[in-house]
A and B are shown apart, each in its own frame.
Chain A
Amino acid sequence: MNQTEVFYRQVLRIRRVEEEVARVYPTDKIKSPVHLSIGQEGVSVGICAALRKTDVVCPTYRGHALYLAKGGDLNAMIAELYGKVTGCTRGKGGSMHLIDVAAGVLGASAIVGTTIPLAVGYAYAQRVKKTDTVVASFFGDGAVDEGAFHESMNFAALHKLPVLFVCENNFYSIHSPQLARQPHANLCDRASSYGVKSEQLDGCDVPELYARAQAAVESVRAGDGPRFLECMTYRFREHVGPNEDFHAGYRSREEAEPWFARDPLRLLGQRLDPIVRTRIEAEVELEIADAFAFAESSPFPPSEELLADVYLEAQ
């Protein structure tokens, strides 16, 4: 399979998973706030392609794309959305707290910015343990307003820790546009002020993003200190929930049109033979149908799970 096919399959898989989530949502089988990545999948796919399986990512609550792109288990994710005991957190975390340690997906958090220092600390542990693992911290343009972002950048730069800071700039923090929160659209400058090399990248062009991410990851792994990538992207759906929200007034469909035209799925699809596309689409549909069937047929956690795992006691 060539690289375009791989990327197409991954973006499509995430897109179709989330479209299925949106389709099932009105049935109320998914009793969990979902923050869909639709439109933003290219960032996770491009960055994760540059990471090793043993590398680690720290996602946000808008984390379906990153979870899947890093290799998180699809069945466990859908079962989690359904609140089933076979879910990746046994039904206790839901959509905002996806985790798959084996795949290198550290847990996502509903509190914006909280996982940024976790990534830095995880990277510190790698330094002490003398591994060459790279940790990628994902966050949005809203998280950059949090003190934890600046404190984390400062410390990671100070110790030249192996962290790749990935800002998915989708221009909105819930409904507040970037320039209503920040005096300048200068996220890279902010990172640079800590001595962290920064680049603004096109989040829709997956092959290009992958190439740039590869160079950044290589540098981070070599011990040259953290890097900051601002990936420009656009959220197609509402902040939370399955629908579009262009009627709500805070942004217009006209504003979104150029992003629809540069939908990463569309850009990748254009580069593939329709026969190949059809084959990939069929395979992806099969896998997703299986995952939803798995979730449907899985049991809910038994009552004794309520108080299980509050603490970890030595055996």
Chain B
Amino acid sequence: MTRKLSYAEALLEATHQEMAHDPSVVVLGMGVDDFRGIYGTTKGLAETFGPERCFDTPLSEDAMTGVAIGAALGGMRPIHVHIRMDFVLLCMNQLLNIAAKARYMYGASVSVPIVVRSVIGRSWGQGAQHSQGLHSLFMHVPGLKVVAPSTPYDAKGCLVQAIRDNNPVMFVEHRMLHFQRGTVPEHLYALPFGHARVLSPGTDVTIVGISYMAVESLRAQSLLAEVGISAEVIDPVSLLPLDVDTIAASVAKTGRLLIVDTAWTSCGATAEIVTAVFERLGGRSVPFRRLGYAAAPCPTTKNLENLYYPTPATIAQAAHSLVRGDKQPWQPRSVEAPEVVEFKGPF
């Protein structure tokens, strides 16, 4: 099976197949039924399944989240799509106070099987309010699940699982991932959460790349190979629940840990993963580094934006210093991600 799809096509196929398979699956969100169809990820669903099962929403993120939850209480499996994760901040009350708690707070009388898809933007002037990776906010809250797959294969399997899951699932997509291509089986399959994926094995340092940073970490791995360093790149895929075992086993093997996030590091996923790994290793710590957004809102101008994100070069450099120490400075060649260079927006 070598059929290749883009990440965006994989999301559409997962949604289309699940909607065909289960009449309770509905899709809602601003623009889900328009001619762009959220980068093609919802394109044609309204035409195929009708306007009741795929519908545009007013600009009412708070209430529409409540509507999705209420529909789930009424027997639906809604997928609520946000073209930017920044908009999910308008949904926090419903997500944290109702969705995350309903199962527990109502004594197991109900469940809330909703999927909240949201896209982290980047580049070409997305700026402070179109580029935030806010997944760690949701990792804090019991009752939610958070997944951020990086490959088209995992995107399809995780979205199917998210739809079938009986709990609220935050499905985090990075805009730059939509262009990634990879092998995706045509049949329906679900990938259970809580399983990290070793994208590429290595022996000297473990690099955990979250969401799009998994792609950038693989590029860093190539740079490191040029100087004889073997990096193991892991995509956690599922952030809550987190597969601590796989990451800790890798760290036990390599003795070094670098975690790269498409988000800030403070109180973030990187902090949680480091802590969870060291706890799993019985309190033993190993040399580690964290990389993420610069501790500022995202600027729009290109030269500052270039400094804002971890890049293959900065990732490779951080891994290099973990392995060889800071006394052997190394300047890897600059690798610009083609999807970032080619991206011309607007969204």
How far, in Å, is A128 (CB) from chain B's closest CB?
Answer: 5
Enumerate B90-108 residues with CB–CB distance to A below 8 Å.
Answer: 93-94, 97-98, 102-108
For chain B, the bracket of interface size reads 35 or more
- Taking A120-B67, A311-B167 as contacts, is the C-beta distance between A111 and B93 under 8 angstroms? yes
Q: Are A128 and B106 within 8 A (Cβ)?
A: no
Enumerate B34-88 residues with CB–CB distance to A below 8 Å.
Answer: 52-53, 57-58, 60, 62-76, 78
How far, in Å, is B78 (CB) from chain A's closest CB?
Answer: 8
**B111 interfacial by beta-carbon distance below 8 Å:** yes
Indicate which residue in A106, A109, A152 contacts B97 across the interface (CB closer than 8 Å).
A109
**B5-45 toward A: CB 8 Å interface, digit per residue (1/0)?**
00000000000000000001010000000000000000000
Q: Give the residues in chain A near B26, CB-CB below 8 Å.
A: 128
How far, in Å, is B151 (CB) from chain A's closest CB?
Answer: 24
Q: Are B67 and A89 within 8 A (Cβ)?
A: no
Chain B's closest residue to A127 (CB) is B52
Instruction: A91-B107, A93-B107, A311-B143 given; name 5 further pairs at CB < 8 Å.
Output: A89-B106, A92-B107, A118-B66, A127-B52, A151-B62
Q: Are A92 and B70 within 8 A (Cβ)?
A: no
Q: Give the residues in chain A near B93, CB-CB below 8 Å.
A: 111, 114, 148
Chain A's closest residue to B145 (CB) is A311
Q: Give the residues in chain B near A147, CB-CB below 8 Å.
A: 60, 62-63
Q: Are B66 and A116 within 8 A (Cβ)?
A: yes
How far, in Å, is B29 (CB) from chain A's closest CB?
Answer: 13
**A192 interfacial by beta-carbon distance below 8 Å:** no
**B110 interfacial by beta-carbon distance below 8 Å:** yes
**A248 interfacial by beta-carbon distance below 8 Å:** no
**B142 interfacial by beta-carbon distance below 8 Å:** yes
Q: Give the residues in chain A near B328, CB-CB below 8 Å.
A: none
Indicate which residue in A101, A121, A154 contacts B110 across the interface (CB closer than 8 Å).
A101
**Bound Cα distance from A243 to B161, whole angstroms:** 50
Chain A's closest residue to B111 (CB) is A312
How far, in Å, is A269 (CB) from chain B's closest CB?
Answer: 35
Q: Give the residues in chain A near B104, CB-CB below 8 Å.
A: 92, 309-310
Q: Give the residues in chain B near A125, CB-CB below 8 Å.
A: 70-76
Chain B's closest residue to A311 (CB) is B167
**B331 interfacial by beta-carbon distance below 8 Å:** no
Chain A's closest residue to B241 (CB) is A311
**A260-282 toward B: CB 8 Å interface, digit per residue (1/0)?**
00000000000000000000000
